[in-house]
């Protein structure tokens, strides 16, 4: 099990990345519309969308030794170590021809954040934060008909609490550095994207 973490730690100088990518962290509570807006940014601004959860699921599906280890940890209710997720993100950045990435749903907490910067040597250009009232996120999650078993009221409220407790310190950390771009995500999708476009438009091109 230590091998993945050891390998990740070997790359503390970021040497595995032979490019200097632009990374934008995308954060927002469950139901804030992150996924929809990430798809819009990919289409309009040519970013590559990386979801930490998708990468972990793909690794499990691959049947690799690493995937089996991740699956066992999740089954046992343990948290997958930051370095494991970061290693997958780092590999995805390295393997992709693009140099602009949206990292969705990560870092989930301060420990994730510090480990990402330490392991990859990358600081995000900025954090795109979808700010949405809890009642609105709750309404959206309950009304979407995707059959997700975690879309019941008790689980939803637990997920909100976890998001607030874990992710707000990350947002506050980057806010103190002037790196948070907050978007009012309670509005219709088109209006939200107008705000997102203004953030990714010409005046931010120097961040690339």
Per the annotation, binding residues for ATP are 31-36, 144, 187
Q: Which residues are annotated as a binding site for CMP?
A: 112
Give the integer Cα–Cα distance in Å for 63 and 59.
Answer: 7
Nearest to 135 by CA among 153, 155, 116, 115: 153
Q: Which residues are annotated as a binding site for a ribonucleoside 5'-phosphate?
A: 57, 78-80, 105-108, 148, 159
Q: Tell me how many degrees the CA angle 124-118-116 measures, rounded to the nearest 5.
A: 50
Give the integer Cα–Cα distance in Å for 82 and 57.
Answer: 15
Question: Is omega for the bond preceding 167 within 30 degrees of 0, making it cis?
Answer: no
Q: Which residues are annotated as a binding site?
A: 31-36, 57, 78-80, 105-108, 112, 144, 148, 159, 187
Give the integer Cα–Cα distance in Å for 195 and 48.
Answer: 20
């Amino acid at each position: 099990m230590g091998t993945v973490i050891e390998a990740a730690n070997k790359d503390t100088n970021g040497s595995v990345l032979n490019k200097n990518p632009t990374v934008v962290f995308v954060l927002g509570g469950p139901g804030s519309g992150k996924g929809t807006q990430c798809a819009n940014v990919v289409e309009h601004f040519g970013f590559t969308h990386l979801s930490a959860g998708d990468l972990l699921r793909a690794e499990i599906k691959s049947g690799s030794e690493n995937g089996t280890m991740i699956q066992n940890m999740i089954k046992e209710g343990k948290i997958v170590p930051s370095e494991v997720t970061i290693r997958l993100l780092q590999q995805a950045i390295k393997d992709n021809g693009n140099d602009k990435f949206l990292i969705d749903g990560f870092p989930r907490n301060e420990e994730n954040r510090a480990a990402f910067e330490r392991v990859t040597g990358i600081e995000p250009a900025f954090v795109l934060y979808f700010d949405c009232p809890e009642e609105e996120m709750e309404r959206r999650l309950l009304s979407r008909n995707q059959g997700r078993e975690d879309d019941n009221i008790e689980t939803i409220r637990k997920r909100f609490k976890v998001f607030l407790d874990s992710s707000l310190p990350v947002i506050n950390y980057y806010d103190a550095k002037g790196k948070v771009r907050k978007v009012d995500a309670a509005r219709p999708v088109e209006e939200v994207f107008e705000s997102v476009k203004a953030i990714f438009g010409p005046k931010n091109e120097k961040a690339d």
